[in-house]
Amino acid sequence: MAHREPASTRLDDRYSDPRAVAESWADAVPRLAAAEIFWLSTVRPDGRPHVTPLLTVWWRDALYFSSGDQERKVLNLNENREVVLTTGTNALNEGQDLVIEGEAVRETDDARLREVAALWERKYGPDWHFDVKDGAFAAKWGAAPVFGVAPRTAFGFAKAPYGQTRWQFA
């Protein structure tokens, strides 16, 4: 599967075991696509952080998520579109955590939203079926805007051995 490559990949020796090696972005992408839960960090208008779990799909080199248009995360995004998405495992000595930093851009094209909705249902099952109407997912509670976050910077935190890989995108 073709994907956008980072402009640079670097292992940070300060936080890495001498046996660690930088992970390739091609190895990280399948984990981004398969992860069921992410933690979204946004900033409230008064500057305080807000963190919430949510579902995502990986499509066209971005993570997509949706939320009700009056939920705190969307209200925060109306003021500041910079976000961090985090996924991984809570195990200390196995697995890898992934962190994506970027700008949440609202997707309003109905054709693209139908593709995202189909991926959503394929990944999470029929309970997560969404119709698309007027540039948003049409949910039982109302319009649910959809946002895409293309990585600007990403981090991979390996745990066996410990290693911190940083991917920087142009």
Instruction: Write the class of the CATH domain 8-108+143-168.
Output: mainly beta
* pLDDT tens by residue, the chain, 170 residues: 457 899 999 999 999 999 999 999 999 999 999 999 999 999 999 999 999 999 999 999 999 999 998 999 999 999 999 999 999 999 999 999 999 999 999 999 999 999 999 999 999 999 999 999 999 999 887 899 999 999 999 999 999 999 999 999 98
Q: How do the domains of the chain map onto residue ranges?
A: 8-108+143-168
User: Pick from 30, 57, 49, 170: which is nearest to 116 by CA?
Assistant: 57
pLDDT confidence of residue 1: 44
pLDDT confidence of residue 170: 87
